Amino acid sequence: MTQHYQITLLPGDGIGPEIMAVAADVLKVIAQKFNLQIEFKTALIGGAAIDATGEPLPKETLETCRQSDAVLLAAIGGYKWDNLPRHQRPETGLLGLRAGLGLFANLRPAKILPQLIDASSLKPEVVEGVDIMVVRELTGGIYFGQPKGIFTSETGEKRGVNTMVYSESEIDRIGKVAFETAQKRGKKLCSVDKANVLEVSQLWRDRITQLAPEYPDIELSHLYVDNAAMQLVRWPKQFDTIVTGNLFGDILSDAAAMLTGSIGMLPSASLGASGPGVFEPVHGSAPDIAGQDKANPLAQVLSVAMMLRYALDQPAAADMIEQAVLQVLDRGDRTGDIMSPGMKLLGCRAMGDALIEVLES
């Protein structure tokens, strides 16, 4: 039976359109193989949306996303829009999309591929076998807490203010996602906070601890964020699933990303309680290499695999994409960010062609 899906594509800025073109081509090949009928809608977000409409997240974009089965996002941002007022910046569009779709859970896998072990800046014996899932809270914490802003006091001095806040229900729902994720993986969950200094973190630790009896098969531990950062580079294999708040998760997931050698290899999924999820690479818009056909499209392609697995319930199609990625790496095909001696250097488009060749062989 043919399955019908509506997918919204948000190419965004910088390398976004280049990597999205590859991902869409891969998805079209997969759709044919698995008899999936996919209707694509492309919408504006980030700097591209600011240029066209004056807003980083036009209403039509959010509406199109809401009506789709899943959203595939590339990346937003760039130097051109860095000096605009905060509400007009590309990043505001991304935060608005997450809030508008109620995407409170961000799943970021960091898995070492044997073919790329030399691309890691850490020793092979430290990173070999690393397979971590960072579950980051995405719609709360200091990025959203009120009050926020730059205020001028009566003396004329400016004060920048942000507020780190989590309610019990926000902690509980991300905690449940994390425990359930750990159940599907190595059954170890490490909760990361700064409970020795921050009250909001003390509440976080208390609630996560209170959830633990519901998941007797999970081994729960807690780490302060500074120690977690250190342990991630010291002995990352100790981690299976990590759960943490928005700010700490932003930073730790990038650190976990670098264990794998390239940020250009890492997909992510952002999920809500219901409605479409957003699937996107961990990396940004890489303005330094935009338009040069140098971007690694594999994180975007692996985001398509996560979308097939988590949103469209097509695990065999997801497996086929992940296998194709391993096969092109086995052939020695590399983009610049994961290049090593003796391998074949490809541009973004050629890497896409290599994937399609493997998928069609």
Per CB under 6 A, 200 contacts ligand NAD: no
The interface mask with ligand NAD, positions 239-268, x = CB under 6 A, is: ------------------------xx----
Binding residue for ligand NAD, selected from 138, 286, 305, 306, defined by CB under 6 A: 286
Establish if 226 lies at the interface with ligand NAD (CB under 6 A).
no
**Is 254 known to be catalytic?**
yes
Position 77 contacts ligand NAD (CB under 6 A):
yes
Cβ within 8 Å of residue 23, ≥6 positions away: 72, 74, 297, 300, 301, 303, 304
Residue 263 C-beta: closest distance to ligand NAD, Å = 5
Check if 250 is active-site. Answer: yes
Nearest approach, Cβ of residue 15 and ligand NAD (Å): 6
User: Binders of ligand NAD among 324-343, rule CB under 6 A?
Assistant: 337
**Would you count residue 293 as binding ligand NAD (CB under 6 A)?**
no
Is residue 226 flagged as an active site residue?
A: yes
* The pair of three-digit structure tokens given for residue 221, joined into one six-digit string: 């531990």
CA 3 vs. chain centroid, Å, equals 26
Pick from 20, 190, 295, 321 the residue near ligand NAD by CB under 6 A. 295
Give min distance, CB of 99 to ligand NAD, in A: 14
Q: Which of 106, 201, 260, 296 binds ligand NAD (CB under 6 A)?
A: 296
Contact call for residue 76 and ligand NAD (CB under 6 A): yes
| Residue 228 binds ligand NAD (CB under 6 A) | no
287 lies in the binding site for ligand NAD (CB under 6 A): yes
**Nearest-angstrom CA–CA distance, 132 and 266:** 12
Q: Are 281 and 268 in contact (CB under 8 A)?
A: yes
C-alpha–C-alpha distance, residues 78 and 277, integer Å: 24
Binding of residue 51 to ligand NAD (CB under 6 A): no
Stretch touching ligand NAD by CB under 6 A, among 30-38, 73-81, 137-145, 213-221: 73-81
Q: Which is nearer to ligand NAD, 220 or 304 (CB)?
A: 304
Contact call for residue 18 and ligand NAD (CB under 6 A): no
Among 68, 260, 285, 303, which residue sits at the site for ligand NAD (rule: CB under 6 A)? 285
Does residue 44 interact with ligand NAD by CB under 6 A?
Answer: no
**Would you say 19 or 31 has its CB closer to ligand NAD?**
19
- Cα separation, 208 vs 218, in Å, equals 12
Residue 179 near residue 189 (C-beta atoms within 8 A):
yes
Could you tell me how many residues of this chain bind ligand NAD (CB under 6 A)? 21
In this structure, the number of other CB atoms found within 10 A of the CB of residue 288 comes to: 11
Using CB under 6 A as the binding rule, the residues of this chain from 264 to 283 that contact ligand NAD are 264, 280, 283
Provide the minimum distance between the beta carbon of 50 and ligand NAD in the complex, in angstroms, as a whole number: 12
Judged by beta carbon, residue 94 or residue 203, the one nearer ligand NAD is 94
Q: Which residues are catalytic?
A: 143, 194, 226, 250, 254
> Which spans of this chain sit near ligand NAD (rule: CB under 6 A)?
15, 75-78, 91, 94, 263-264, 280, 283-289, 295-296, 299, 337
